[in-house]
Amino acid sequence: MLFNSYEFVIFFVVVLTAIVIFRYRKFQHLFLLAASYFFFYFSSNYLLSLLIFSTILDFYIAKEIWNAKDIARKKILLSVSLAGNLGLLGFFKYADFAIDQFNFLGNQLDLGTSIPHLDLLLPIGISFYTFQTISYTVDVYRGKLEPSKSLSEFALFVAFFPQLVAGPILRAKDFLPQLREKLENNSLSKIKQIQIKSSNLKLGITLMAFGFLKKMFFADNIAPLVNEIFANPIGLNSFEIWMGTIAFGIQIYGDFSGYSDIAIGAALILGFKIPKNFNKPYFATSPSDFWRRWHISLSSWLRDYLYIPLGGSKKSSGRTYLNLITVMFLGGLWHGASWNFVVWGMLHGAYLAIHKVISDRFPGLKIHPFFKSKIGKVISILVTQYFVFLAWIPFRVQDTDHMLYSIEKYVFVDLQFSGAMTFISEHKWSVGLMVLFFVLHFIIYLRPGTIERISKSGLKIWTVVITIILVSIVFFFNGNPEDFIYFRF
């Protein structure tokens, strides 16, 4: 069920109505769980069984880990959890990719044998809820989290519908306490009643409105230009490749951060706080700063459950650089079973490693007056975004020849801008949207907390702003809701 569809609007209104009418705590939680399962079933049908399997597996294994006294038994149980979750993820997401590599190798060695594809359906959201359940079990294993007391409570954490399909990736330590309420003068807790508060409602609607604006007004209307350029970029000049790359950078940000805003807003209306997933990433001043701003829930997950266990930066310098590249390689592969995502991950791994080398060799750069000045900051942003947008090319283009050609034109500018005005004239709507996006993005960068201020404004001003956003969306909506890009991952 797409957020940008009439079905979701009806579904969400029904959920809110039921929550308001039925105030019995346990019913509210069970209803919300049932609604989340329905939401997932609507999108993935029988593949809902995989979600339920992961939920049951980690609920009971985490309890056994918590109660186990022997460290060896804890490790065995953790290994079972990891094998079960990663096994499902690997089988459904990477089986055909592995078969392709095996068949390619067989052809190169002239073995004369090949394995047919399994043609498995990719369960929507499996990459996200798998990471959620893994983080829960690992936190219990580390002793940082007490296991959930009831299966229904844990199931709601895993299946909570606003962020189920494409994140943000929730942590149990952040979400489970929101389901409970402490009793006065007692360490015990009870199920918390879900209440629709007016302050949350206003901010939640504002967040959702901006999320829909990013997705349906910007991302979906810029997508045709991106598709036209990268369907077959061979023969295009550098200006056209640059325009396509910038357009895709805007599209994927609007698409994914728009989904996150809608998810955070919907959860807030229901009384739950989901962590921010984006923080103006196109104003990052370094590769590491970019990953503190882009897909924050994934980057922090990779840091806590992969980078630090590998040794982080506490080992030798060489090991630190290798850890960074390894983590981003796996982060790229997490996005999809294709070599273009591996290239994207490796590029970002190289960016992080090179930035780390420079920071280690020249520690005074970060406090140098030039880099603290406005000019220095602008240059840092432009240099960082040059490489960030370069990496968007392999993320978008799967065909190897098309990818290499696009990268070559992006890096080695041919200065054939004679047709630039013609290109702009032919795509004036998309180009205008790109300019408008950067203007609004810059305004929000200069005035942090804009969305919060709008939500706290008077009812008349707030209504006007929301109406303008909704009218803009409806006026340029073609009636066919587009999938969110991260549904594929």
pLDDT (average), residues 263-289: 92
* pTM, full prediction: 0.90
What percent of the chain has a predicted confidence (pLDDT) above 70?
95
pLDDT given for residue 368 in this prediction: 66
Single out the catalytic residue among 29, 335, 348, 427: 335
What pLDDT score does 183 carry? 47
Residues 67-90 have a mean pLDDT of: 92
> For 452-470, what is the mean pLDDT?
89
The pLDDT value given to residue 489? 66
Q: Mind listing the pLDDT tens digit for each residue in 342-393? A: 999 999 999 999 999 888 888 776 766 766 788 888 899 999 999 999 999 9
Residue range 269-293: average pLDDT?
92
In degrees and rounded to multiples of 5, residue 124 shows phi and psi of -60, 130
**pLDDT, position 28:** 83
**Under 8 Å CB-to-CB from 283, ≥6 apart: which residues?**
293, 381, 445
Q: Which of 53, 477, 437, 90 is nearest to 280 (CA)?
A: 437
Look at residue 427 and tell me whether its pLDDT is greater than 50. yes
pLDDT of residue 191: 73
461 pLDDT above the threshold of 60? yes
For the ranges 50-64, 191-205, 412-426, 465-479, the one whose mean pLDDT is highest:
50-64
Q: Is 276 in contact with 264 (CB distance < 8 Å)? A: yes
Task: Share the mean pLDDT of the chain.
Answer: 87
Tell me: the pLDDT tens digits for 187-241?
A: 556 777 777 887 788 999 999 999 999 998 999 999 999 999 999 999 888 899 9
pLDDT of residue 189: 63
Question: Are the C-beta atoms of 193 and 25 separated by less than 8 Å?
Answer: yes
- 368 a catalytic residue: no
Q: Give the Cα separation of 30 and 409 in Å (integer).
A: 55
Residue 185 predicted with pLDDT over 60: no
Task: Please give the pLDDT value at position 419.
Answer: 72
pLDDT at 184 over 80: no
Contact call for residues 438 and 246 (beta carbons, < 8 A): no
